[in-house]
Amino acid sequence: MISIQKEISLSPKPRGFHLITREVLAVVLEIKDIQIGIAHIHIKHTSASLTINENADPTVREDFETYFNRSVTEDMSLYKHVYEGADDMTSHIKSSILGSSVSVPITNGRLNLGIWQGIYLCEHRNNGGPRKLVVTLMGN
């Protein structure tokens, strides 16, 4: 059984939904040694999240941003936790809806994602800064 865990720092990204599959794979080169396993990716923040979705058409990521901004409005009169601005509490809500981790099967040394799937960093803050991920690979 192979077990590997690495922490990745992602460069700051603007608010929105960003494909990070390649960034993750660039750091966990040991994935090639796993024939059957799982990759677990966790974000160590409460105002950004992770999800898996469309990796080809960038308008999907734009539509995600539009949907979440309409669903969780930045009306400061609705929230008490606004210490860091209008995007403070809304970022926590969006992060809870989407989640802080994703798990992906590993097959023959590669992430076993669908042809149109990619891992997204969902940046919910206007100025989120660098983000840290913990990637755990387990398998044979």
**CA atoms of 77 and 69, how far apart (whole Å):** 16
Q: Which domain holds residue 100?
A: 2-139
Q: Which of 6, 1, 11 is nearest to 128 (CA)?
A: 11
| Average pLDDT estimate for 88-100 | 98
Per-residue pLDDT band for 122 (boundaries 50, 70, 90) equals very high
Distances (CA, A) of 58 to 62, 103, 114, 139: 7, 23, 17, 32
| Average pLDDT estimate for 36-42 | 98
Whole-number average pLDDT of the chain: 97
Domain count, the chain: 1
Per-residue pLDDT band for 70 (boundaries 50, 70, 90) equals very high
What ranges make up the beta strands (E) of the chain? 2-10, 16-19, 36-43, 48-54, 101-107, 110-111, 117-123, 131-139
Taking residue 57's Cβ as centre, other Cβ atoms within 10 Å add up to 10
**CA atoms of 71 and 81, how far apart (whole Å):** 18
What is the percent of the chain where pLDDT is above 70?
A: 100
The pTM assigned to this predicted structure is 0.96
Q: Which of 70, 130, 68 is nearest to 98 (CA)?
A: 68
Per-residue pLDDT band for 91 (boundaries 50, 70, 90) equals very high
Q: Which of 131, 127, 129, 108 is nearest to 119 (CA)?
A: 131
Q: What digits encode the pLDDT tens for the residues 3-31?
A: 999 999 999 999 999 999 999 999 999 99
Q: Is 123 exposed, middle or buried (0-12, 13-18, 19+ CB in 10 A)?
A: buried
**CA atoms of 2 and 45, how far apart (whole Å):** 27
CATH code (residue 117): 2.60.120.460
